[in-house]
């Protein structure tokens, strides 16, 4: 398959790969005429079927395919006529096809014909944007309050008390009455802080009869605390009261501190170092 280009008064033979290379490099315009030896006539470079995509430089640039109207094709096939002043025409070669390129009396027209109604313009394909990866927001786990003795995460937002050794607590309270009073005041404060209100006042224990009622309510509040946080602590209010009245508080000191430790540990508290 061969073609002819007319440049600088000379006919340049070209094959299809060379034409495509010239089109891509910009040496061949789409409106330049090329002599196609298959049909033995001059046609626009863009009218060659194999050349329609030769000017596609990038995927985002449009490729324009020009088509000649039937009237214009008939004009090229008609006998030689004097060239019109506005639209020159090139007569098709007459007689049997020569072996070489057809002689041309005059330079072929270089102005491209006006695009006909069949002109197709391919729009550039829209560029697909990669979907944005939404940033995953990782919520850091909130470090819950450390216990009064500090340490691990808590299972309750309520303030926890101090974890003490029940045996040493009982011994200290038995040896020193002042230490027993201070221990009791501290426990009352811890229970009031747990409920967020001042439910009990330690010096009410000094009031006859009323002190026993306050003591009974305080013992029952320990069981209520265990139920609120889900600790496995039995209700020992009766045992506390009997131990307070019969053992001078020794049994009560031990059992009460043991149960309070179980509640504080269930809430996540740890013994103070």
Judge whether 147 and 264 are in contact, CB under 8 Å: yes
Beta-carbon neighbour count of residue 158 at 10 Å? 16
Three-class SS of residue 124? coil
CB atoms near residue 265 (< 10 Å): 18
Phi then psi for residue 7, to 5 deg, are: -140, 135
| Span 100-157, pLDDT tens digits | 554 444 455 554 444 444 544 444 445 554 444 444 444 444 434 433 434 344 456 7
Q: Are 205 and 215 in contact (CB under 8 A)?
A: yes
pLDDT (tens digit per residue) in 62-73: 433 445 566 666
Nearest to 68 by CA among 2, 20, 112, 19: 112
- Higher-pLDDT residue of 103, 18: 18
For the entire predicted model, the pTM comes to 0.44
108 contacts 33 by C-beta, under 8 angstroms: yes
Of the two residues 268 and 31, the one the predictor is more confident about is 268
Q: Where are the beta strands (DSSP E) in the chain?
A: 2-7, 10-15, 33-36, 41-44, 64-65, 120-121
């Amino acid at each position: 398959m061969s073609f002819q280009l007319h440049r600088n008064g000379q006919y340049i033979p070209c094959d299809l790969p060379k034409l495509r290379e010239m089109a891509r490099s910009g040496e061949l315009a789409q409106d330049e005429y090329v002599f196609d030896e298959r049909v033995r006539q001059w046609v626009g470079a863009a009218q060659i079927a194999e050349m329609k995509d030769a000017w596609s430089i990038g995927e985002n640039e449009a490729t324009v395919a020009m088509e000649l109207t039937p009237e214009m094709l008939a004009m090229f096939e008609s006998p030689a006529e004097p060239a019109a002043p506005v639209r020159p025409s090139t007569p098709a070669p007459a007689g049997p096809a020569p072996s070489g390129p057809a002689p041309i009396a005059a330079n072929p027209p270089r102005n491209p014909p006006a695009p006909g109604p069949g002109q197709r313009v391919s729009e550039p394909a829209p560029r697909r944007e990669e979907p944005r990866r939404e940033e995953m927001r990782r919520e850091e786990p909130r470090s819950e309050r450390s216990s009064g003795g500090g340490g691990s995460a808590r299972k309750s937002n309520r303030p926890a008390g101090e974890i003490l050794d029940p045996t040493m607590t009982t011994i200290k309270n038995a040896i020193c009455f002042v230490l027993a009073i201070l221990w009791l005041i501290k426990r009352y404060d811890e229970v009031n802080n747990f409920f967020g209100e001042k439910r009990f006042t330690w010096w009410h224990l000094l009031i006859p009869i009323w002190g026993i009622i306050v003591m009974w309510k305080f013992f029952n509040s320990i069981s209520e605390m265990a139920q609120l946080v889900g600790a496995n602590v039995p209700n020992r209010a009766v045992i506390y009261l009997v131990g307070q009245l019969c053992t001078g508080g020794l049994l009560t000191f031990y059992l009460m501190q043991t149960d309070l430790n179980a509640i504080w540990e269930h809430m996540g508290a740890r013994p103070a170092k």
